[in-house]
Amino acid sequence: MKKKLIAVLLSAAMVAGCLAGCGDSKSESSGGSASASSDAAGTEAATDTKDTTAAADSGESAKSAEELLLEPYEEPVDIHIVLQYRESEDPNTPSDCTPETSTAVKLLKEEMNINLIYDWIVNADQYEQKFGAELAAGNLPDVFMVNPNDFEDLASQGGLADLTEYYEKYRCDDLDNIFNYDGNFINVAKKDGKIYGLPMGTDPAQMTSQMIYNMTQLESVGITSPDQLPKTIEEFEALCDKLMEVDYNGDGKIGGPVIPACKNYMDAQLADFQPFFHAYETWADGWYDKDGTLQYAGIDEGIKTTLTKLNEWYNKGYFQKDFAAYDIWAADSPIVNDIVAGKYAIVPASWWVPNWPLNTNKVEHPESNWVIGPNLSPDGNQPAIMVDRYPVNNFVVVGRDCKNPEAVFKMMYWSLQYTLENSNPERQNAMTDEEKTEWYSYVYTWLPYRIYSPTCLRTNFEVINKLAEEGKTEITEADAARNNEFWGSWASYLNYKENPDDGVAWGTYFSRLAPDGGVANMIHTIETADIIYDEVYVTTPAMVSRKAELDKLRNNTFLSMVMGEMPISDFDKFVEQWKAQGGDEIAKEVNEWYQNNK
């Protein structure tokens, strides 16, 4: 369908080019003095235009990028967008607020002379089909978001506007913190040196894993200090053996499970096996450089060691026998309910887990004392970790026929300034009812772009802890970090300071801001571990057609091996099957891409 779209676009461009050529030929064939007179007039007009343009450029160049970004258009500019609709995440959003009546639409028109026009709006389950149909018909919005696969397609086939000129003109720290946070991230959006999109990503450090322990429960097995928490796999296993002998429910029964687990064994970031894969320096996915060639981590020989240990623990009863039947994200998940109820003293997790569901556990069990333990390994040292080289989620792009490509920069910058100003607690406390309604009618998820800074977790952690060390509870805008998450994090810090026994306040604080919390551990891990990079951030044709089935094969195989349904000695057979069913084809494509994009 995309090829049909591009054919339509390129055909239109060729027709336009032919028409322009015919016009030029006709002018040149108009003979004699009329032609000479026209040339003279044209030369004089060109000189005047050049002088005027030079003067305008001189005035514009005297302005900063920030001034240019907030400069409204002299005439109204229409920007056509589309929306994959979902309800506002903010319960304060007025019930009668719609995408078309939201604050961004209203104020972009009033303050920037930009008319946001929704060409169509559909629910999430209908979006892919609708978008595909519009592409097939040759209809591209002006500004929209696409996944890496669609970005590759549209950029390589000429469907996207070249943003290079506008990026250089409007680049500033505030915007670079969003789509070029490390000075290199913007390169993932380049084709032949030109920028065809603005990459939206996350901090690679967020891929790290953690082990969280409830010290209150561990007292029953003699662990009274975080210094006693296990560092090695052997020490961890000894702890689990002790927990197997404890009757936590008071019903006279002992035995497992002692570690929550689910079928989302590697990607849940809660109750998954990721910390144990990481302990053995193995990964179920990702392509890393080995002597100049990309290798797929999911078929590495070392994974047999990880699966063997997990199978031992399964046989010992550490995990629930039918754990593979449970989806951690299912409504009313029994795994989550058991964590909340305090069934587990150990929770494999990511940095955000204290904010949910451990905060709910803390509300129901205020005595819970959750701490983050060392990252496990066979020898007790920090293992190497794999993270994405460029963790791209989506690209904000502009259709090639958009008349004002620069508008995407203006809209993003306007949104950032608006949220920075209005998320300030002091500003919110001074708002009138009308201003509050306006603020609550700004619905971030209804806009065709994102203004999330990938480094905001680290930045806010560092800035707020420095302010805390200085004893500050009141700050100015000059003290604040310039990302749209800062004021919410600052409010969380103040809330925890005033309500340290409140489970919800604890969860937000411990996950994001505590010196020994989730983000702190995330930062420490990424700064002390040897890093192996997953180099691939594109989707190749074979990935589109084969990866889903290959992932299913891998997941079913690994889970079956953990549960003893398939011998781990069959791992080599799995590797052969993986290669034959498309793995080798993907490997060929990603290596060709890698050699051309190093």
What are the structural domains, with CATH classification, of the chain?
A: 65-201+393-440 (3.40.190.10), 206-388+531-596 (3.40.190.10)
Which residue from 482, 480, 288, 481 is spatially nearest to 384, judged by alpha carbons? Answer: 288
d(C-alpha 259, C-alpha 393), whole Å:
31
578 in Cβ contact with 585 (< 8 Å): no
pLDDT of residue 269: 94
Greatest C-alpha distance within the chain: 110
Report how far apart, in Å, the C-alpha atoms of 558 and of each of 304, 310, 535, 594 are.
9, 10, 24, 28
Helical spans, DSSP H, in 323-478:
334-341, 358-364, 407-422, 425-429, 433-440, 456-469
pLDDT of residue 62: 85
Measured CA distances, 168 to 142, 214, 360, 392 (Å): 20, 51, 47, 21
Closest CA relative to residue 516, chosen from 218, 230, 210: 210
Strand partners, 191: 194
Structure token digits, residue 513: 């801001």
CB of 538 closer than 8 Å to CB of 148: yes
| Burial (CB count <10 Å: 0-12, 13-18, 19+), residue 450 | buried
pLDDT beneath 70, residues of the chain = 1-61, 249-250
Check residue 9 and give its pLDDT. 41
> Strand pairing of 77-85 and 114-123?
parallel
Q: What is the pLDDT of residues 350-390, one digit of tens each?
A: 999 999 999 999 999 999 999 999 999 999 999 999 999 98
Q: The tokens 């019930």 sit on which residue?
A: 95
Proportion of the chain in helix, strand, coil states, percent, rounded to 5: 55, 10, 35
- The DSSP call for residue 43 is H
Given a contact cutoff of 8 angstroms between Cβ atoms, the answer to whether 362 and 368 are in contact is yes
What's the pLDDT tens digit per position in 179-222?
Answer: 999 999 999 999 889 999 999 999 999 999 999 999 999 999 99
- Whether 229 contacts 374, CB under 8 Å: yes
- Percent share of the chain, pLDDT over 70: 89
- Asked if 562 and 314 touch (Cβ cutoff 8 Å), the reply is yes
Tokens linked to 301: 């020989």
The SS3 assignment for 30 reads coil
DSSP for 113-164, please give it: -EEEEEEEEEEHHHHHHHHHHHHHTT---SEEEE-HHHHHHHHHTT-B---H
